[in-house]
Amino acid sequence: MTAGGCFVFLGPSLPVKQARALLDARYLSPVAAGDLYTLVRDEAPAVVAIIDGYFRQRPALWHKEVLYALSRGVAVYGAASMGALRAAELHPHGMIGVGRIFEAYRRGEWEDDDEVAVVHGPADVGYRPLSEAMANIRHGLGLARRAGALSPESEARLRQRAKATFYPERAWGRLLAEAPALGVPEVEVARLRGFLRDAQPNLKRDDARALLRRLAARGDGQGEAAARPDRPFFEATTFWTQLTRARAGEASPASAEPTAGDEALWDEVLLSPQREALIEAALAVYEMSNGACTWEHARWDEPALARAFEALRRREGLRSAEATRDWLAARELDAGALRRALELELHRERAFARARDRDHARLSEALRLALRRRGELRERCAQALAQRALATSWEQSPDVLTRALDWYQGARRSLSGGLAEHAAELGFTSLKRFTRALIGAHLLARRSREEPPDDLERPRSGRGAERE
């Protein structure tokens, strides 16, 4: 298959590096509403393979988009996740499904979208799954039973428990932790744990690989499309016209961005190592957009300047007088220049607090525009969503906040005084919001570094995650 002829929408089901080893194609982020239409309009692809797609963060892929692609002669394949769902629904019209998940939906064995739904991280961590799909759990339990690691009774109990769990909260670690309370013998729990470690069952991954291998083996991928029904008749409805107008002028489907609520996005920014620079950028856009002057002249007394200096030292990790002197010397900050810099910091924090309290909606709009100008909005929204999802899963676990605080002080900022005071200094409106954001950032950082998840996959209170 020639490069450029085939486009693949891929996310958490399979790492792109592994996908490229199987099929030479152009890989795009998970598909959302409007992306397939834009791709067909702008690129006129020969083949489109849909593996992953958004369910929650953004509107899902329209069935109408698939029909539009088919009507234009594009061979459309689906497998593993969103692709399997749409292929099961649209195979009578010519969409080609691949894999066991597609077949389960096509035969009506599965009906719920949550069989394939997962929470995942942002693009910069490869859309790493942060929860386990029900399809994978079913598959893994069945393999474990056939391998003699589980009895049929234990398999049924664990499967029922997983299905009853809200999809963002599903994880092998949690299921293993709950197994004894479900009546699964300890010896079987130990065997299952070992089986999962050795076999690493993952049906979504396997189906995604099967689709890519099939396309690679069939050259341009259009040979079997000849056996499809005639191209479906396509009628442009009012809603379709609205979609095409909304997409007018967009460069590519990959340019679309996930959306995070204002609170989740601010939480990510306020905990970011770039907090001060991002706030300044947002305030600059806010002033330009609204004709407001937030940087009011003020005279700062010595105690205020001293507090600002200590905050700077904590932020920069300057734990000794020698380190502080070296830091100031490297930036050519004498006593007068340091005072002016501290005054600017105090001005910034006052301006931020006033704009946040008086005109929060416009300040949030300014933040989004500032991030868009920096080329960061897409990834920060995705990161904010992932952090919020993880925090929802783990904020009731008794140990996670302690670990998050240790990580925060080592990797981000040191604390002085109480948590509530520190949260207020950063701009959080409540301690609960700060600790939730802190937990989410800590867990996402661990997942991003691929640290062993054993101690993180056993929430002690039954809460779980979010989705893809």
Express each pLDDT in 362-387 by its tens digit. Answer: 888 889 888 888 888 888 888 888 88
Angle between helices 335-358 and 275-290 (to 10 degrees): 60
- Count structural domains, the chain: 2
Same domain membership, residue 299 and residue 150: no
Same domain assignment for residues 271 and 220: no
Report the DSSP beta bridge partners of residue 8. 27, 49
Within a domain: 463: no
Give domain status of residue 465, yes or no: no
Question: Both 170 and 304 in a single domain?
Answer: no
Domain end marker among 213, 246, 279: 246
User: What pLDDT shows up at residue 150?
Assistant: 95
Q: 61: closest CA among 203, 253, 238?
A: 253
CA distance 148 to 191: 9
pLDDT at 291: 52
Whether 307 shows a pLDDT value over 50: the answer reads yes
What is the residue-wise DSSP string for 5-65?
A: TEEEE-STTS-HHHHHHH---EEEPPB-TTHHHHHHHHH--SEEEE--B-SSSSPPPPHHH
Per-residue model confidence (pLDDT) at position 466: 33
Q: Tell me which of 217, 246, 275 is where a domain ends.
A: 246
Mind listing the pLDDT tens digit for each residue in 263-298? 888 999 999 888 888 988 888 888 776 655 554 555
Q: Over 90: is that where the pLDDT of 220 sits?
A: no
**Among residues 170, 171, 27, 120, which one has the least CA distance to residue 468?**
120
Same domain, 218 and 274: no
For 110-151, how does the pLDDT look when each residue is reduced to its tens digit (9 = 90+)? 988 889 988 887 776 778 888 899 999 999 999 999 999 999
pLDDT value for 189: 95
Is 299 a domain residue?
yes
> Does 274 map to a domain?
yes
Task: Answer whether residue 103 shows pLDDT above 60.
Answer: yes
User: Are 286 and 404 within one domain?
Assistant: yes
Distance between CA atoms of 101 and 98, rounded to whole angstroms?
8
Is the pLDDT score of 77 beyond 80?
yes
Domain co-membership, 282 together with 430: yes
pLDDT of 310 higher than 80: no
- 409 falls within a domain: yes
- Which of residues 246, 275, 295 is at a domain's end? 246
- Nearest Cα to Cα of residue 280 among 271, 269, 291: 269
CB 213 within 8 A of CB 110: no
Residue 373 lies in a domain: yes
Same domain, 279 and 240: no
The answer to whether residue 43 is domain-embedded is yes
- Together in a domain, 221 and 270: no
Closest residue by Cα to residue 115 from 74, 150, 151, 84: 84
C-alpha to C-alpha distance for 101 and 135, rounded to whole angstroms: 7
Q: Is the pLDDT of residue 450 over 70?
A: no
Least confident span in 5-14, 195-204, 297-306: 297-306
**What would the mean pLDDT of 191-207 be, rounded to a whole number?**
95
**271 lies in the same domain as 367:** yes
Q: What per-residue confidence (pLDDT) applies to 293?
A: 53
Classify residue 254: in a domain, yes or no. no
Shared domain check, 3 and 150: yes
Mean pLDDT, rounded, of the chain: 82
Cα 199 to chain centroid distance, Å, stands at 26
Residue partners of 269: CB distance under 8 A and separation at least 6: 275, 278, 279, 367, 380
**Domain encompassing residue 19:** 1-225+236-246
What size, in residues, is the chain?
Answer: 468
Same-domain status, 426 and 312: yes
Q: What is the pLDDT of residues 238-260, one digit of tens each?
A: 778 777 877 775 544 444 445 66
Q: How far is CA 460 from the centre of its chain?
A: 23
Q: Is the pLDDT of residue 12 over 70?
A: yes
Verify that 25 and 53 share a domain, yes or no.
yes
pLDDT at residue number 162: 93
- The sign of the dihedral angle between the CA atoms of 203, 194, 126, 168 is positive
The Cα-based distances of 320 to 168, 303, 310, 323, 342 in angstroms read 44, 20, 12, 5, 19
> What are the tokens at 101?
């998940």
pLDDT at 458 over 60: no
Question: Residue 97: beta bridge partners?
Answer: 78
Query: Residue 462 pLDDT > 80, yes or no?
Result: no
| pLDDT for the residue 255 | 41
Asked if pLDDT for residue 465 goes beyond 70, the answer is no
pLDDT-derived band at 5 (thresholds 50, 70, 90) equals: confident
